Amino acid sequence: MTFTRIISFSCFIISMLLMLSCANSKKEEVKEEADTTSVKSQIYPKLPESVLFCGKTISLDNFDIRERLDKEIIVNTYYHSSTIQSFKRANRYFNRIEAELKDKGVPEDFKYLCLIESGLTQAISPSGAQGFWQFMPATAKEYGLLVNDEIDERLNVEKSTTAACAYLKKANSSLNDWVLTAAAYNRGVGGITKDLRSQEVDSYFDLHLNSETSRYVFRILALKLIFENPEAYGFNISELELYEPIPTRSVELIESQSNLKHWAKEKGSNYHMLKVLNPWIRGNKLTVKSSSFTIQLPQ
């Protein structure tokens, strides 16, 4: 090997060693940065000593109550995709729901019951419950909602909220306790009354219930805590693109329409937006009988 080739080979080896050293240094920097980010992203929310629900103070000094709530806090704190979407939708719908609850004399905290029922979407359950408040068809009709081949008012936010208020007020007149009333929305007034009597207790927190109802009120309380103090649970609301209320115009439909696709075009919109803003309309026609329909279209 000539002297020149030796020098060239030595330079190559030195270059390779320098590159490896830089790469290892970079890896350490990235790892250190990742570790720092990881630590910063960990939120370990601490529960308060008590929670206020519908004006009633719920003490968390009992280990069972505290740990059941802790579970739901952890679920919602780390289930980011669901909780973030809840924040986004709540910004659009909570004002409307709060106004109706206040008007009907139902505590504002029941907006969180609506949130856990449907995530503020027109959800459909396997049992056939639908809408923000998850009414079954028979119960919906009992509380004044129209459900037929053309219309399903369970999917009308205002009207279904009005019906939910009527249900909750009736339940509370029987149970005389808003916490038990919240549980009864899941278990039924008859079921809760039977459980109270058979177990000889008078509090939701002392009842031994099925797993769904046992979690139900705690899911409501968890979201209330997170929504009232989001930063403490790792949610920076200022960084979220919250959904704004949709500006709409009300159009009265006073005559039966056999083709709503055509009607929507005549009114300066389209069938897609008609269905998005009026999910209670089931198909492509509406039959006007005793009264007109108020339909929302984009402003």
Residues 153 and 147 sit within 8 Å (Cβ to Cβ): yes
What local confidence, expressed as pLDDT, does residue 80 receive?
78
Residue 243, CA distances (Å) to 113, 141, 223, 247 in order: 20, 31, 18, 12
| Listed residues 220, 239, 258: the one ending a domain | 239
- Identify whether 35 is part of a domain: no
- Identify whether 291 is part of a domain: yes
Q: How would DSSP label each residue in 193-233?
A: HHHHHHHT---GGG----HHHHHHHHHHHHHHHHHHSGGGG
- Same domain assignment for residues 261 and 233: no
CATH number at residue 105: 1.10.530.10
Whose tokens are 């308060």? That residue is 48
Which stretches of 105-188 are DSSP H helices?
111-118, 137-142, 157-175, 178-187
Partner residues linked to 53 by β-bridges: 56
What local confidence, expressed as pLDDT, does residue 255 receive?
95
- Identify whether 1 is part of a domain: no
- Identify whether 29 is part of a domain: no
- Identify whether 282 is part of a domain: yes
- Same domain assignment for residues 206 and 279: no
- Same domain assignment for residues 229 and 265: no
What local confidence, expressed as pLDDT, does residue 72 receive?
96
Q: Which amino acid is at 140?
A: A
| Listed residues 213, 239, 265: the one ending a domain | 239
What averages of pLDDT result for each successive group of 10 residues across the chain (299 residues)?
Answer: 53 58 50 38 78 97 97 89 95 98 98 98 95 98 96 97 98 98 98 98 98 98 96 90 96 96 97 98 94 94
- Same domain assignment for residues 206 and 114: yes
For residue 224, the number of C-alpha atoms closer than 13 Å in the C-beta half-sphere is 23
Residues 265 and 122 sit within 8 Å (Cβ to Cβ): no
Partner residues linked to 73 by β-bridges: none
Q: For the chain, how many structural domains are there in total?
A: 2
d(CA 280, CA 150): 8
- Same domain assignment for residues 141 and 262: no
This model's pTM is above 0.75: yes
Residue range(s) defining the domain that contains residue 167: 50-239
Whose tokens are 């278990």? That residue is 187
Phi-psi region at 234: left, alpha or beta (left = phi > 0; alpha = psi -120 to 50): left
